[in-house]
Structure 1
Amino acid sequence: MLHNKKQLACGLFALVSAALSSGAAHADIVASIKPVGFIAAAIADGVTPVKVLLPDGASEHDYSLRPSDIKAIRNADLVVWIGPDMEAFMPRIIGQLPAKKSLEIADLSDVKPLLMRGAEDHEEGDAAADHNHGVMDQHHHHGEFNMHLWLSPEIARNAAVAIHAKLLELMPRSKDKLDANLQYFEASLAQSDKDIEKQLAPVKDKGYFVFHDAYGYFEKHYGLSPLGHFTVNPEIQPGAQHLHFIRTQLVEQKAVCVFAEPQFRPAVIDAVARGTKVHKGTLDPLGMDVRLGKDSYVKFLSQLSSQYTSCLKGA
């Protein structure tokens, strides 16, 4: 009887050891914002779900973590985010996690050479903006670089490769599926890139203004012709001098479109565009209407491309 018990115990120990050595079957993945979730969900599709912290309609610039968010981060096996210059609500809680549980996209070695410098805060251009500069810094620190990294297809691909590597460490038993997901993501992104290039080609030379300085990576990648932005920080209204400059550009018909955003629909855009022939459109830099899934990132890029095209063509 004792011998049988020993055999049973040894057998159970061997099973547990094998399970542990083969990696977890499930991992809790948390993404800071939805576009980061799009990339993570593409790699994790059919393997493990991805939770996004930032709710639809909220801004990554001024979000405050809820108790449920903090719990989700602490319980996560992997947290994927852009970096402290984008998600100001993240660094304190991220600092409490083991380094292996955090993937900071802006800190990846193959992403750093691709970073674009950000616009300067003083572009707001008048005393009101200068007066509020201290308030601006409290809410959202604009670092040296533009941190809207998810709007670069190239950086998104590098992020996907890094997420794939992290998930392989967590779930090596799912290697075949994870490998297939990465291969699918890279192929669909390459095809989407060609399709978007073709879609945007007729409007590349048309000037426009965006609401805030978020789209540089997308614009550079596809060779678009932005004339400027209303504000660097969407929490701060643009100054009078800067608005006068934009108004002049619109009156002289150097711009064919001005873009608002679902997260920010300031009356200032309507006021500046009033009485001109400029069209008004909306760009959604967070993909509010896109659901997480295998194809969500390429759907997000395609939607953004259509938003540009529609307004620039005068639809």
Structure 2
Amino acid sequence: MPLLKVFNVLSVLVVFGLAIQPVKATPPAVTAPPAVVAPPAVAVSIPPLHSLVAAVMEGIGKPALLSPGGTSPHRAMLRPSTARHLAEADLVFWVGPELENFLETPLKRLSEKSGAKIIALLHAPGIFRREARHLHRDTDSESHNPDANYQLDPHFWLDPENAIRIVAIVAEQLGEANPERTAIYRQNRDRTIARLRALDLEIRRKLAPLAGIPYLVFHDSYAYLEGRYDLGPSQAVAIDPERRAGPRRIVALRRKITENAFRCLFHEPQFTAPILARLREGSDISTAPLDPLGSGLTPSPDLYFQMMQTNATSLQNCLMPARDG
């Protein structure tokens, strides 16, 4: 066979062989893994509520604290750090205007400007609320203001049953804002509620012998605690910390103290009150701290538990009747 012919045949075979080679599948495009959704930026007004929110967010993020311990929310002002935390927040938990009226206008502006969700926990469904006791008392204050904001007692977190409801509300709100982590929020909720139920039982055992013992407090912030554990009755030096007690009330309280009408006089670290020294003068009434805000404690998921245990111990130590011999 001529050489040229052979070459042509081989060429045809090569081309034919190439033509019948299987077509390789196009490799799939490489796609980036789904982006991790950041948790919402959360701000909380006062340390006890911040502690409960931090417990639900544990392992995910840390909420910002707007009013640190040692600062009374009754007298707080909007500081630059507070304004910054608010501007960055997607979700804000606060008591409500009954306690933190300095936040009312900034929160309204935040909601209108950024669409952040604002939760006034005192008014949330399921929260047990008490009417402010000063509505039924002659306060003899130097300036009485029957403002509508004072119709409810705002110290609702001092009842651990309300703390349980707060945790459930927070977990629900966080799950709605961040559904990718709903399971974690729920696990943290369940663990925190179990701790709160154990705390409630521990405090009840500790305070049970103190039922009915009268005592004196600086301002009327303990009705929820007293109602939960059958304490008191207590009387307050100042029904509202923003109003000074009048002379008639001071005289009446001094008389009761000298008559041993109170087992103990409790003071709060948030308030400097020289009036307490005047009340004690000439008597041997015992004194002890009570702190509804956890002042001096480091903000953390444990602060609420530490605060309640410390208050229960202070009540026990000051009110427990002395044992004979």
Pairwise TM-score range, normalised by the shorter structure: 0.7 to 0.9
Amino acid of the structure 2 residue aligned with 1:284 = D
Distance in 2 (CA, whole Å) between partners of 1:258 and 1:309 is 13
- The answer to whether the 8 A contact 1:45-1:293 is kept is no
Q: Which of 41, 44, 51 is residue 38 of structure 1 equivalent to? A: 51
Superposed CA deviations along residues 85-140 of structure 1, whole A, max 9, x for unmatched, are 111011111112346621110121111xx2111022784644xx34x336x96xxx
- Matched residue, 2:279: 272
Note the residue ranges of structure 1 that are not aligned, 5 or more in a row: none
Partner SS for 1:303: helix
Distance in 1 (CA, whole Å) between partners of 2:154 and 2:216 is 19
Amino acid of the structure 2 residue aligned with 1:155 = N
* Deviation of 1:7 (Å): 5.0
* Deviation of 1:205 (Å): 2.7
Alignment TM-score, normalising by the size of structure 1: 0.85
Report the structure, 1 or 2, having the larger helix content: 1
Higher-Rg structure is 2
> Percent same amino acid at aligned positions?
28
Distance in 1 (CA, whole Å) between partners of 2:292 and 2:259 is 28
Partner SS for 2:170: helix
Amino acid of the structure 2 residue aligned with 1:88 = N
Distance in 1 (CA, whole Å) between partners of 2:285 and 2:310 is 22
Instruction: Map 1:177-216 onto structure 2 (within 5 A).
Output: 177-216=184-223
- Matched residue, 2:289: 282
Aligned alpha-carbon RMSD (Å): 2.4
- The answer to whether the 8 A contact 2:69-2:297 is kept is no
- Matched residue, 1:104: 120
Superposed CA deviations along residues 261-292 of structure 1, whole A, max 9, x for unmatched, are 00113111121122223111111111013223
- Matched residue, 1:61: 74
Instruction: Map 1:243-258 onto structure 2 (within 5 A).
Output: 243-258=250-265
- The answer to whether the 8 A contact 1:121-1:232 is kept is no
Partner SS for 2:304: helix
* Deviation of 1:241 (Å): 1.2
- Matched residue, 2:134: 120
- The answer to whether the 8 A contact 2:89-2:116 is kept is no
Q: Which of 86, 91, 94 is residue 81 of structure 1 equivalent to? A: 94
- The answer to whether the 8 A contact 1:25-1:173 is kept is no
Distance in 2 (CA, whole Å) between partners of 1:156 and 1:269 is 31
Superposed CA deviations along residues 159-198 of structure 1, whole A, max 9, x for unmatched, are 1111101111222222332122111111111111111011
Matched, 1:154 2:157: no
Alignment TM-score, normalising by the size of structure 2: 0.83
Distance in 2 (CA, whole Å) between partners of 1:202 and 1:237 is 33
Note the residue ranges of structure 2 that are not aligned, 5 or more in a row: 1-25
Distance in 2 (CA, whole Å) between partners of 1:284 and 1:177 is 31
